[in-house]
Amino acid sequence: MSTPNNGAISRSTGASALSLYHLLDPEVLGNPYPLFCRLRTEDPVHWDVFLHTWVVTRYIDVLEVLHSFSAERTHTPEKLKSMGLSEMSPIAQLMVKQMLFMDPPSHTRLRSLASQAFSPARVAVLRSHIREIVNRLLDAVQKEGQLDIIRDLAEPLPAIVTAEMLGVPLSDRLQLKAWSADFAEMLGNFQHNPEHAPRMLRAVQDMTVYFRDTIRRQKDHPQEGLVHSLMTAEVDGDRLTEEEVVANSIVTMVGGQETTTNLIGNGVLTMLRNPGEVKRLQEDLSLIPSAVEEMLRYESPSQHTGRLAAQDVELGGRLIKKGQAVMAVMAAANRDPERFSDPDRFDVARTDNRHLAFGYAAHFCFGAALARVEAQEVFGAIIRRLPGLELQPSPLIWRNNLGLRGLTALPIRFQASHAAC
C-alpha cells in the first residue's frame, strides 16, 4: 500500500530502475511483458525498493511462493493504525475471514466446507444453461453487425452467472457488479489511493448488510445456490459462522466477476491480433478448450498475487526475511521460456500448458471450473456466430488496475449478413 511518485515514472523501462511500479505508466500497463521479461532475466527474485516487496517472476520460483509462503497477508487493524490507515479496519476485518487470506488449518477448514457447496458436478450441470445465456446475449446484438465485447458480453455473462450461482435475485446483478468492481480495484492495486478509500468502505459495509439480509431471508425461504449451501455445509459437525458465510460469499462474488470479464475481453483481443489462430479455431472447434487455456496463459486476467515469508528463506539465491512481502507474478511466470517453448507466441493448440493463471496449490482458484465453462461457451459461440470479426478503430484503454488485467471497452465488427444462429 505504498504510494510511489507517479510523476517520476520514466516513459521507458529501458534504462530506468527495475520496479513493478512502472505498471502505473499507461504504456507499460498496455504491454507489461517487456518489463516482466526484464525482471525475469536481470533479477528474477527482485527486492523492489519502491514497493518494499520482493517481486518473483520465474515459473519455478512462483510455484515455490504459491506452494510454501503464507497467504495471511492482510494487515491487522493495529498495523493499519500504525500506518495511519485506521479508517480501513472494517475492510481488514472482512478480509481476514476470507479463504484467500488464510493459512492452514483455518484455510483447510473453510475450503473444505465451501467445496461441499460448489462441486465440479454442479458446474457441469450449468454448462447448457450458460450456453443459453451466451446465445441470448448474442441474439440481442447480432443483427447490428457490431458490439462492444465488454459491455454486451464479458460483463453481463459473469454478472448473471454469479447472481444465479449465489442464489440471489437476478435483478440484484447490477448492484453486485458495482460492488465487485470497487472491491476488485482494491484487490488488484498495490498503491493506496486515499480518494477511493471512502467508496471501498461504503461498498464493504453495504455488501455485508446485503449478505446478512440474504442469510436471514434464506433461513425461512431457502434458495438453491452458494449462499444457502455455505449456510448449511457441515463437516464433522463443524459449520461456518454468519460472518464467514458473508465474507466468503463476497470473495466468491468478486472472484467470479472481474476475472471472467477480463478473460473474455483479453481473449477476444488476442484472437483479433492473431487471425491465423482464429482460422485454426474455425476449422477445428475441438480446439476451443485448449485455446481458452492459452488465453489464460498468454494474457492472464489475474497477473500477480501476494504472500508473506513465514520464516527466513532462500529463493533463487536471495535471502527473504521472515515477515517480508512477496509478489508472485503469474503473468511473468506464464511467459517464462524455461517452462514454455516460444512463450510470446499465442498458440491455440499448445500442449503441456500448465499455466499459473488460476494460481497453484492450496489456494488454486475455487471457481476455475466455472470460469473455464463460461469462456469455452463464449469463444465457441463467437467463432460460430460472428464471422469476419474485426476490431473497430478506437484506442485500447486498459483498466486502471495493476493486478486484474482487462480492457474498459472492446468494440468489434462482424458480418451481420451471416448472423443467423
Could you list the residues that contact ligand HEM (CB under 6 A)?
66, 99-100, 111, 251-252, 255-256, 259-260, 263, 301-302, 305, 357-359, 363, 365-367, 370-371
Closest residue by beta carbon to ligand HEM: 367
User: Residue 154 in contact with residue 164, Cβ under 8 Å?
Assistant: no
Host H or E run for residue 306:
strand 305-308
Closest CB to ligand HEM among residues 330, 386: 330
Structure letter (DSSP) for residue 105? T
| Ramachandran angles phi, psi of 254, nearest 5° | -70, -45
CA-closest candidate to residue 50, choices 24, 73, 27: 24
The nearest distance, CB 142 to ligand HEM, in angstroms, is: 25
Distance (Å, whole) CA 200 – CA 56: 28
Closest CB to ligand HEM among residues 5, 128: 128
The nearest distance, CB 124 to ligand HEM, in angstroms, is: 14
* 349's grid cell: 493448440
CA-closest candidate to residue 138, choices 390, 402, 380, 334: 380
**Longest CA–CA separation in the chain, Å:** 64
Closest CB to ligand HEM among residues 298, 414: 298
Closest CB to ligand HEM among residues 9, 149: 149
Closest CB to ligand HEM among residues 56, 251: 251
- Using DSSP, state whether 311 is helix, strand or coil: coil
The nearest distance, CB 358 to ligand HEM, in angstroms, is: 5
Distance (Å, whole) CA 324 – CA 44: 17
The nearest distance, CB 397 to ligand HEM, in angstroms, is: 20
Beta bridge partners of 53: 48
Closest CB to ligand HEM among residues 18, 96: 96
User: Residue 191 in contact with residue 1, Cβ under 8 Å?
Assistant: yes
The nearest distance, CB 143 to ligand HEM, in angstroms, is: 29
The nearest distance, CB 139 to ligand HEM, in angstroms, is: 24
The nearest distance, CB 88 to ligand HEM, in angstroms, is: 20
Closest CB to ligand HEM among residues 142, 303: 303
Closest CB to ligand HEM among residues 9, 184: 184
Alpha carbons within 13 A on the beta-carbon side of 16: 17
User: Residue 277 in contact with residue 388, Cβ under 8 Å?
Assistant: no
The nearest distance, CB 236 to ligand HEM, in angstroms, is: 20
Distance (Å, whole) CA 168 – CA 231: 14
* 68's grid cell: 510454501
Host H or E run for residue 278:
helix 275-283
Calculate helix-pair angle for 156-166, 242-272, nearest 10 degrees.
160
CA-closest candidate to residue 177, choices 165, 163, 195, 189: 163
The nearest distance, CB 378 to ligand HEM, in angstroms, is: 11
Beta bridge partners of 48: 53
Closest CB to ligand HEM among residues 123, 389: 123
